[in-house]
Amino acid sequence: MAVRILYVNGGLMNRGGIESYMMNYYRHFDRDKIQIDFVVHDAGGYGYYDEEIKAMGGRIFVLPQKSKHPLSYSRKLKRILIEGNYKIIHTHMDAMGAWVLKVAKVCGIPVRIAHSHNTKHLTSNPIKLFFLEQARKNINKYATCRMACSEMAGKWLFGNQTFHVIRNAIDIDKFKFNKDVREQIRVRYGIGNDFLIGHVGRFDVQKNHSFLIDVFAKVHHAMPNCKLMLIGEGYLKENILQKINELCLQGHVILTGTRDDVNCFYNAFDLFVLPSLFEGLPVVAVENQINGCPALLSSAITTETQISPDVRFIGLREELWYAEIVKYIRMYGNRRKERHINSYIFSYDIEIEAIKLQNIYRDLWNKN
């Protein structure tokens, strides 16, 4: 009989880093041994992964926003926990998981896992920050087991408490470099022989698109034979489009929207950039390195991300990013270097890592 575990996500199961993490592992579990149900937040609409979850045998429970319906929220969560007879609950909400785990403790759930996917709260609102900090201070009180995507993410949420590092693992073969696909993508988007800078990430404050556009404007002025490709969607997309127009970069910045085939686009890039203000451990940077594309990453990103020598971590100053990109264009142009492979890459192999996490779940289940 399969062990049934309840995952709790902060929103709907749409395409995002945390949701991709959950789905990557879920797809690779032996579902005769491990089954996953999902609690999502927001009663309006459906998640992108909902049908796939149901097809794999998972169930989806929708909760209202806690801030708007606190009593109804707690009541419905208790009903899910008790009627589902769960022994393991695994929250993927960073500090906000404390509130869920508190209810789970009241309901007598013996295994309460908190998972850190970040190194900073995802808001600048002072009122929200206050409540998030309170939750972060209490997370260890309600969690019986702690997990994180990186050492930095774990120390941020759990302090000096012990935790498991669970890699943001992926299907390595899917991201191997393919020269034919590179040419197809570049022809489709009219890249030609231009140098293509690539970024993958949702349009929000964390990903720092405004900074990237400012840097690219300077790079393009000095090196006109370059383009920037932005893959993703988000609430700040219109702001970025406006900035692109103001800087007269139309035709030089390509927005693809959200893609199911991001693995194909890494082939087309000549340089991958990720100037994030903060990250837990960005899986897109791992995917890109496995593809063999050089990368410039913000120094705010943990160096645990590095699995290739073709990665530079630099501070978020426009002149530094400008100089580094221009130097790279002059040195290599649009000629992709040979990919460097080392044994560390296999610590991100989902086939291996899924078995490790599956075994952790089984051990926790058997002990409780």
User: What SS3 class is residue 128?
Assistant: helix
What share of the chain has pLDDT > 70, as a percent? Answer: 97
Please report, to the nearest 10 degrees, the dihedral formed by the alpha carbons of residues 290, 291, 297, 301 taken in order. -30
Q: How would residue 126 be classed by pLDDT, with cut points 50, 70 and 90?
A: confident
Structure tokens at 2: 């399969």
Round the average pLDDT of the chain to a whole number and report it. Answer: 92
Domains of the chain listed by start with CATH number? 3-169+349-367 (3.40.50.2000), 172-346 (3.40.50.2000)
Compute the Cα dihedral for 114, 95, 14, 148 and give only its sign.
negative
Q: Give the CA radius of gyration of the chain.
A: 21
Cβ atoms of residues 11 and 92 within 8 Å: no
Relative to beta strand 164-165, strand 311-314 is: unpaired
Phi, psi angle pair for 349, to nearest 5°: -80, 115
The H-or-E segment that residue 68 falls in is: none
User: What SS3 class is residue 169?
Assistant: coil
Tens-place pLDDT, residues 269-281:
999 999 999 998 9
Tens-place pLDDT, residues 143-189:
999 999 999 999 999 999 999 999 999 999 899 899 999 999 999 99
Cβ atoms of residues 81 and 102 within 8 Å: no
Residue 214: its pLDDT value, please?
98
The better pLDDT of the pair 335, 72 is held by 72
Residue 65: its pLDDT value, please?
80
Cβ atoms of residues 27 and 74 within 8 Å: no
Nearest to 339 by CA among 179, 216, 136, 125: 179
Nearest to 94 by CA among 127, 143, 34: 143
In the predicted structure, residue 78 carries a pLDDT above the cut 80: yes
Q: How would residue 86 be classed by pLDDT, with cut points 50, 70 and 90?
A: very high
Tens-place pLDDT, residues 8-33:
999 999 988 899 999 999 999 999 99
Give Cα separations from 342 to 225, 256, 346, 347 (angstroms): 33, 32, 8, 10
Neighbour count for residue 18 (Cβ, 10 Å): 21
Half-sphere exposure of 351 (CA within 13 A, CB side): 6
Q: What is the mean pLDDT of residues 259-266?
A: 94
Residue 43: its pLDDT value, please?
65
Residue 339: its pLDDT value, please?
60
Return the beta strands (E) in the chain as ranges: 3-9, 34-41, 60-63, 88-92, 111-116, 145-148, 164-165, 195-200, 226-231, 253-257, 271-274, 295-298, 311-314
Q: Kindly report which listed range (251-260, 301-310, 321-330) carries the lowest average pLDDT score.
A: 301-310
Q: How would residue 343 be classed by pLDDT, with cut points 50, 70 and 90?
A: low
Q: How would residue 338 be classed by pLDDT, with cut points 50, 70 and 90?
A: low
In the predicted structure, residue 42 carries a pLDDT above the cut 90: no
Tens-place pLDDT, residues 185-237:
999 999 999 999 999 999 999 999 999 999 999 999 999 999 999 999 999 99
Structure tokens at 112: 């309460």
Separation CA 270–CA 228 (nearest Å): 10
Tens-place pLDDT, residues 46-73:
899 999 999 999 999 999 887 677 788 8
Residue 26: its pLDDT value, please?
97
What share of the chain has pLDDT > 90, as a percent? Answer: 79
In the predicted structure, residue 340 carries a pLDDT above the cut 70: no
Half-sphere exposure of 232 (CA within 13 A, CB side): 22
Long-range CB contacts (within 8 A, 24+) of 175-180: 175/263, 175/266, 175/287, 175/290, 175/291, 176/290, 176/291, 177/266, 177/267, 177/291, 177/292, 177/293, 177/336, 177/339, 178/264, 178/267, 179/267
What are the start-end ranges of the H helices in 85-125?
97-106
Neighbour count for residue 177 (Cβ, 10 Å): 15
Separation CA 130–CA 142 (nearest Å): 19
